[in-house]
Chain A
Amino acid sequence: EPEVTQTPSHQVTQMGQEVILRCVPISNHLYFYWYRQILGQKVEFLVSFYNNEISEKSEIFDDQFSVERPDGSNFTLKIRSTKLEDSAMYFCASSSAFFGQGTRLTVV
């Protein structure tokens, strides 16, 4: 069965540092998504991506966040200058049915 793969599984970073979370979505899918889940809270939509452009983004997805698909395979989420409140699980999804296993980001 096809799978969405995320790396790393856990990332610890200092506040103010840049982080890049990586995802390999399912190759023949067209829409890709990032969601996040702060500990103890619900899964929240961040951004959807289609045809190398952002299709929709939430209020959470401010100027500190960016996404790209640089090589037609990897789908990355970059946080430019991390804050403590960015600590969360970040999930990549390829359509509604396929989620990655998540990256746990801890900002210290």
Chain B
Amino acid sequence: AQRVTQPEKLLSVFKGAPVELKCNYSYSGSPELFWYVQYSRQRLQLLLRHISRESIKGFTADLNKGETSFHLKKPFAQEEDSAMYYCALRVSNFGNEKLTFGTGTRLTIIP
């Protein structure tokens, strides 16, 4: 069975400092990895997916299959980055795209 681990429940970073939110996964096949963000009182939003290799809001994440990791990074934190961040793994099965989530990391940017 697949599993996603986010070791940090809480992370506080000063504004302007680099951010790294850790995510590790376990799955025997080739998964798809995602990062979701949830701002205060808002819905879960898709932030990044590994297959698109994009940078959204300054965030990037690289899939490291050797370390089974998909850490989320941003070089310079901004106050508006404060939110809950969830790493998720998707195993596609004939179109069924069920997600397995990590427990989430609450990121707080200190002004």
Contact = CB atoms under 8 A, between A and B. Distances in A.
Chain A binding surface, main DSSP class: strand
A74 to B, nearest CB: 18
Interface string B82-99: 000010101001011111
Given A42-B101, A43-B101, A96-B34, A102 B43 contact: yes
B69 interface: no
A35 interface: yes
B96 A45 contact: no
Name B's interface SS. strand
A97 interface: yes
A45 B98 contact: yes
B100 A45 contact: yes
A56 interface: yes
A99 interface: yes
